[in-house]
Amino acid sequence: MHEHPVKIARLFHWEMGHRLPFHDGGCANIHGHSYRMWVEVEGICDENGMLIDYGDLKKAIQPLLDPLDHAFLCAESDVTMREFLEAQRFKFVLVPFHSTAENISAYLVENIWSVLEPFSRITGVSIKLHETDNSYSLAGKSRPPA
Ligand SMILES: [Zn+2]
């Protein structure tokens, strides 16, 4: 019962503020979400039937999320927010994109893949990022064929 492709998943969560300065409606205002992210990892099990220890998965991914927790995700182009956050010395992370769910999930999957790639049994990762209970964004990345 090994050497077959499997998928396992783990749930992560953090609290984060953001805004979409280009938005016509409510999203232009400063607000936040309880982000929840399912990380699905795909690959081949070892002889014991394990792809990766859930603890190791957490150890690899959590350091990517700690800087975001109780922080403000700020687009580099959002000068109003940037100056305010810097002046007040609030916790924030600058990113070169608007903090839409689509962009955040694309950014996170790149970073998550970079920490999972060294695990040779892992062939791909996909994430499902919930901003709210009834909406999510998907992104994925897999190892190029050898
Ligand atoms: Zn929002």
What spacing in Å lies between the alpha carbon of 144 and ligand 1's midpoint? 33
Active site residue 42: no
- Residue 53: both structure tokens together: 């220890």
Query: What pTM did the predictor assign?
Result: 0.94
**Contact by Cβ (8 Å): 16, 35:** yes
All structural domains of the chain, each given as residue ranges with its CATH number in brackets, are 5-142 (3.30.479.10)
Residue type, 31: H
Tell me the CA distances in angstroms from 133 to 35, 41, 49, 125, 129, one per residue in order. Answer: 9, 22, 33, 22, 10
- pLDDT (tens digit, 0 to 9) for every residue of the chain, 146 residues total? 557 789 999 999 999 999 999 999 999 999 999 999 999 999 999 999 999 999 999 999 999 999 999 999 999 999 999 999 999 999 999 999 999 999 999 999 999 999 999 999 999 999 999 999 999 999 999 998 87
What spacing in Å lies between the alpha carbon of 27 and ligand 1's midpoint? 6
Active site residue 76: no
